[in-house]
Structure formats: C-alpha cells, structure tokens
Structure 1
Amino acid sequence: MKQSKLLVLVGVFLLSLGSFSKAQALLNTSEIVLQIGEDGNPPRNSEGSFIQLKDGRILFAYSKFEGGSGDHASGVIAGRYSEDGGNTWTGKDEVIISNEGGMNVMSVSFLRLIDGSIALFYARKNSLDDCIPYMRFSTDEAKTWSDPFPVITDKKGYFVLNNDRVIQLPGGRLLAPVSLHKTAGVDFRMRGSIFCYYSDDNGKTWHSGMEMPNKNRVVVQEPGVVLLENGKILMWLRTDRGVQYLSKSEDQGLTWEEVYPSDIASPRAPASLKRIPETGDLMLIWNNNKSLVKETAAYRTPLTAAISKDEGKSWTHLKVLEDDPDGFFCYTAISFIGSEVLLAYMAAEREKLKEKIPLVLRKLSLDEFYD
C-alpha cells in the first residue's frame, strides 16, 4: 500500500452527501480466509456465489478462467467447500460446471428455493451473439445437478446476468435481472436493454417482463434486484454517470418505472445489495469513489460497505473494506451466516489485470458493519 497516495485518496474518496453518514475506519483486513489465484495460475478468478448446505458445509463456486484474464477466455465454474462456517476452505477446486460454451461458462448465482432444492444459475457464452443464462437444479445438496436449460428462450443475443443476483419472492416467483447488449448483425452496445425474466413454477418455465424505460438513453448495465418491505422491487444498475441508477417495480418485476439517478457515487462498476436476515436492514457493497480527482473517477476502489435502515433512502455506517488506490475490487458475493458475513470479490491490481485477477474471501462479524 502506498501510504502517501492513500492519505490523499482518503480525503477525496469518502462520500459525504446528505443521505450518507461519514465513512468510518478500514475494516479488519486480517479476516481474509481464502485467496485464489494470487500466483496468476489460473489468470482470472471472479464472479462467485455461496450456498449453505444442510449438513453444515458451505459451497463457494466461482468463474475460473483458465485461458486468460478477459471476459471471453475459456473457463469453468469451480468450487471450494468449508466445514467450519467459512474459517477454512478446501485446498483444491472441484469443477462444478465444465466448459460447455463456445467461449466459457461464468458468473454464478446460487439460490436455495422454497421447495428446499438448490438452483444454480450461470452464463453459457458461445459467442458475442450468443450468451444466455442457464439454470440447473440439485435435490441432493449439490452432489449432483440436473441437465441445464436456458432461462431465456424468447430472444437471442448477448445477455449479462451478474453473479449472486437471482432472487425468489415470498410467493415463489423467481426473478433474474438481465442486460441485453448485442443481437446478431448488430454492433455490441455498452447501453444494455434491461429486463427481468421471471418464473412462477420454480424455474421450470421462464417469461420476459417488460423492458425497463430509459428515455434518456443512459448507459445502464448489470442490474440487480431486492425485495423491499412495501412489496416493491428495487433495481440498481451500473452506469457511466458517476452514480448508481435505480428503478422500481410495483408488480413483481413485470414492469418498471423510468430509470433515475441515485446519490450512490460510483464508477461504471457493479454494486451488490442484500437484506441482512438478522436485522432486516439492507447492506450495500460498492466502489464509493466520490472523488474530486477526475483522473481517478473510473477506478474500482475503494471497496466500501454501508447499511440502510430505511429501505435504501439513506445509508449509514460506511466502512472501507479495501482502500488500495491501485486496486481493482468488484463483483462481490454476500452470504450471511447467523451473526457473521462472508464476502467474496475480485481483488486485483489495476495495472496487472491482463496478468492476474485474484479472488479474496473474507469473513467478518456483522457487528463490525454497525460499529
């Protein structure tokens, strides 16, 4: 860590808008429980998700790129297990999903379904014209998986479903927020067309909701969704406007209001947001880069956590997870284990992204986020 640069960045990065409290101290960095890919072999390790198994173990699966560090390099879905609540992890990867795509398989979302089975979602990427989220089931606690089937069948193109993103509503509806960026014969667009695909039969069939309105043609990407206490669905999106953008649905993801800016300062990078089971509050993890330095405005650092007690209207208890000014931190997976929190995220050096992208797993007390 470069101390002089850090002192400068602390002064310019910490967000101080009216709906946020002043950022607090750096969280305990000693609670790293696993690092994958520190030696650059494999060259990229990213976009994971946790699932707690009924025998007490935890399975963490992630995108393991064996053919390079880029989004389109060859890769598989690999997994590690913990038998002690996330304190220690198995030393070798188990291949969960082999490379069944023309390019790769990547970007994992686990979900414990209401019927007790486990759903596994991932992207099968064949080409820049063909990237579709697929789903598998397990009824034996991740020992075996069903045959894969596509979530999207009514459209063809390059869809992005971020890791750790699929949710199930209390009535059983599954929601998979996706961003469409390319179809055959059309150039790749940074501005995604945003949809929520939904299933009302536990994932057997899927249907498309309406596209999210975006009359100002904001570059929106990588949507995520969370259920609010009033029954509405909140969607957040990465943009190039210096903040996260938001939209809401009042009909369980069928239609969306016009997308609008939040005051969550952010580069064009994904945020992660989940409800904390023990407290009922929302936890947000993102790159809080409210910066006065234009040259650093796009950097994916620092990595910050915040808590909302009012359904996302305001954020308090800001905590810095990672503050290396040369770092690149993103695609966080969040899992709550009682009064503890497991996090997994890319933790690379910005100047070495073509060489290696390691993955870090951390375990922290929930109390640390509230102190």
Structure 2
Amino acid sequence: MTIPRRSVLKAGAALSVVAVLGHSPFKAKGDSIGENRPLLTPVEDQILCPWEAKHPRHDHQQIFSVDDERLMVVWSEYFTNDLTQTNKKGFAGIGDHVSCQITSKVSNDRGRTWGPRQVLQPNEWKQNVKQSNLVRISDQEVILSYVGWDSESQRNVFLRRSNDNCKTWGPQQQISEPGFYCNNADHALRLSTGRILIPAHGPYAENYVGGAAYKWGNLHSFVFYSDDGFRTTHRSKNSMTAKGRGCHEPAIVELKDGRLMAFLRNSNKVLYRSYSEDGGETWSSPKPTNLPSPESPSIVKRIPGTGDLLLLWNNIASATNWPRTPLTAAISQDDGESWGYFKDIENKSDVDAAYPSVTFVGDEVLIAYYSRSREWKRDAEVTLRIYNIDQFYQ
C-alpha cells in the first residue's frame, strides 16, 4: 500500500511538539521556542508594497481570493505631500496617525505579478483609515470593514458591502458604538454557522469597551459579531484582558468541536489564550501560553486539506513592542493543545517582520507582513513570500 506523502510527513510530528502550557510560562527576555529552527525558502519572494517618497509606509495587508483566477491585496497605504522630509528611504518618520488610505491591486497569476494600484477606501477622517478586513458571505456578496481614526477617543469601525464580488461597493455604515477601537487586517472570520466575527479591542469603560479615550493601558479584547452579514451588529457580553497593558489584537480560529480559540497580544512576554463556547458571545479569562512573544500580534488559520492549524507570530520574549523578529510559523495537529514543526519565515536580527497575513491558494500559502530595517523611522514595506504547504511539514 502506498502511503500519501503528507501522511509520512505527519509521522514525525512528535519529535518537535511543544505543549502550549508549560510549568514556567513567563519567559526571560530574548527567549524563543523551537530549537534549531530552519529558515524556510520561499518559492516566490517579493516586495509587494515598496517604499516610495509619497507612500513611505505600508502595512495591515490582506490577500483575498476574488475567484479561482484572481487575488486582490488590500492594505493601509500611508501618504504625505511634504516630500522634503522623505528624500532618504526609510526616514520619513510615518507614525500611526499619519494620513492613510486603503489601497488594492489584483493578481491573475497566484501572486507572482500584480496590476496597478487602486484606492479602495479614501481617507475621510481627521487622521486616517486602516485595518481593513474582507469577508465573503456568498459568491457575490463580500463585506469590507475598516477603522476610521479621528482622535484619541474616536476610532470607529465602518463597513461597506459589495453585491457583485468586489466590483462596486455600497454605502458606508458605522457598526460600532462611538468610541476607540482597533481591528487587525486579515483577522475577521466567518464561522461554520455563518456567523461573522470582527475581532476588536479598546480601552475599558463602564458603559462598554471602547467607550473611553485611550491612555496607554487597560486594553480589553472582544468581537463584533453578526448572524445576518452585519445588517445587525452585536458585541461580546464580556471581554478579555490581563495584567500589564491588557490584551489586544485577538487572533481567533474555530476549533473542530465548535469552540473558538483566541491568541492575544499583551505585555507579559508570552501569547495569552482564551476560549469561547458560544460563538464569541462570552470568553474565558485569558491564560498565559508557553509561546514567547513581544507586544506584537499573531495570526492563526486552519490549513485546507490537512485540517491542522498554522500559527505565525514573533517568537521572542519581550515586555515591549520590540524586537519583532524572528517571524516564526508552527503547526498544531491537536487543535492548539501543542505545536510543532517550528520554522522561521524571517530571522534577520536587523529587521522588523510583523503583522502577518495568511492566504491559502491551492497547494500554496501566501504569507505577507510588514518589513523594515531597524534603522528606519516607522516607515515600512509589505513583503510577500509564497510557499508550498508541504514545506511546513518537512
């Protein structure tokens, strides 16, 4: 009998498996997990959104399958009209509040080449618009959500709808109560029940999370959810937080038993984890995992074909935002109880590589992330690396 190649690859999983919960979850600064991790060699490696004097920062990307032939990347494209400050690459100093728009371009060859830029959502706010998510509801219906930034107390979540598979977009609607919110690109998801989740975080307030101005800490995570394609909107009844700065930028996946698992950014040197047993309406108290992390988000998705989970995150313990390398991938074959097959996507010590997105296309996975030299002043590009899925099991 011939054993499928993927089954042979799975057979060695126990050799590299690490349980998520360890006896000493709080790591020393600089610790990482997965000894002797190889750096994966992509089948395609490109700067998807390059630095330009007029557009010196790019991030918060998502690569979306429009149909069997086309991919569309949407991302946050920052812009400046003061070109006198941007004559040196990487030194425009483009911070989080600088003017930004949501831009797109299309590929017809599985991400190898891309067409011209097109602004998908212009900036209509006092600061900027970013953190977009595309979610497919049907063959023709797609929703686009994003966050419009006005001030330190008003960053709200908006949504537009396409009924012709991304050709045109309907009117804008605000789905959040007025307040301060952040989302992460490529983190919204549609559950097996049809419910759609938009993971979010904001500062705690007695009336509702997000109902206060941001003052550094006390961040709580939750989800906006809808069972009718966000014609009506609900939010979680409770929220997820932890000591230190709190919990933010949740990365959520649906487990095989119907529960939801969320990984959470925080300032305690490891990823935290929470569960929901009711589709995101309520969440368990977050607990520390044994996965070292700085203050940086993760992303977790289910691999088509194998049913395993793929996690990407900055695999290094730190109580601050940095360092943001290495960017590591790991696979779980038991729905998140343990992780193995640790591989690095980027491991250069003089770069940042963070905020990854993950898109599966056939037998390949497209991984994009913001990248920049450590010497740059907040400017960034978006790097795209494409791999065969089998590479993660070798």
TM range (shorter): 0.7 to 0.9
CA RMSD of aligned residues (A): 2.3
Structure 2 stretches lacking a partner, 5+ long: 1-15, 21-32, 81-92, 205-209
1:149 paired with 2:176, answer no
The count of residues paired between Structure 1 and Structure 2 equals 350
Deviation by residue 1:79-104 (Cα, 9 ceiling, x = unmatched): 111001111112x3110111122211
C-alpha distance 323-249 of structure 1, shift in aligned 2 (>3 A) = same
Q: Structure 2: which amino acid aligns with 1:239?
A: N
| Deviation of 1:247 (Å) | 0.6
Q: Does the 8 Å contact 1:23/1:320 carry over to 2?
A: no
Partner Cα separation in structure 1 for residue 156 and residue 234 of structure 2: 14
Aligned to 1:308: 332
- Structure 2 CA distance, aligned partners of 1:353 and 1:211? 37
Residues of 2 paired with 1:76 and 1:22: CA distance?
40
User: Where does the alignment leave 5 or more consecutive residues of structure 1 unmatched?
Assistant: 1-14
Q: 1:348 to 1:21 in 2, by over 3 A?
A: closer
Alpha carbons of structure 1 residues 187 and 141: separation in structure 2 relative to 1, 3 Å: closer
* Residues 217, 245 of structure 2: 8 Å contact kept: no
Letter in 1 for 2:145: F
Partner of 1:8: none
Equivalent residue for 1:47?
60
State how far apart, in whole Å, the 2-side matches of 1:282 and 1:132 are: 31
Distance 2:243 2:40 in 1: 38
Q: What is the aligned partner in structure 1 of residue 11 from structure 2?
A: none
Q: Which residue of 1 aligns with 2:350?
A: 326
Partner of 2:130 in structure 1? 106
Secondary structure of the residue that 1:158 maps to in structure 2?
A: coil
Whether 1:59 and 2:72 are equivalent positions in the alignment is: yes
The amino acid across from 1:365 in the alignment is N
Show the 5 A alignment for 1:287-366.
Answer: 287-290=314-317, 298-354=322-378, 356-366=379-389
**Residues 323-369 of structure 1, C-alpha deviation per residue, up to 9 Å, x if partnerless?**
11011111111100011011111011122033x21111121111111
Report the secondary structure of 1:367's partner residue. Answer: helix
2:288 aligns with: 261
Counterpart Cα distance in 2 of 1:277 and 1:55: 15
Deviations 1:49-78 (A, max 9, x none): 121112611100000010362111101000
Structure 2 CA distance for aligned equivalents of residues 23 and 253 of structure 1: 37
Distance 2:140 2:34 in 1: 39
**Normalised by the size of structure 2, how large is the TM-score?**
0.83
Contact map agreement 2:358 2:365 (CA 8 A) in 1: yes
Aligned to 2:183: 161
Q: In the TM superposition, what are the counterparts of 1:72-87 in structure 2 within 5 Å? A: 72-87=97-112
Is it true that 1:193 corresponds to 2:220 in the alignment?
yes
Alignment partner of 1:174 is 2:196: yes
Query: Are residues 214 and 86 of structure 1, via their aligned partners in 2, closer, same or farther at CA, if it must alter by over 3 Å?
Result: closer
1:246–1:296 Cα change, 3 Å = closer
How much does 1:295 deviate? 10
- Map of 2:230 onto structure 1: 203
Pick aligned residue for 1:272 from 299, 302, 312: 299
The separation in 2 between residues aligned to 1:337 and 1:186, in whole angstroms, is: 41
One-letter amino acid of the structure 2 residue matched with residue 178 of structure 1: A
| Contact 2:39–2:344 (CA under 8 A) maintained in structure 1 | yes
Q: Which amino acid aligns with 1:86?
A: G
Contact 1:51–1:112 (Cα < 8 Å) also in 2: no
State the SS of the aligned residue for 2:230.
coil
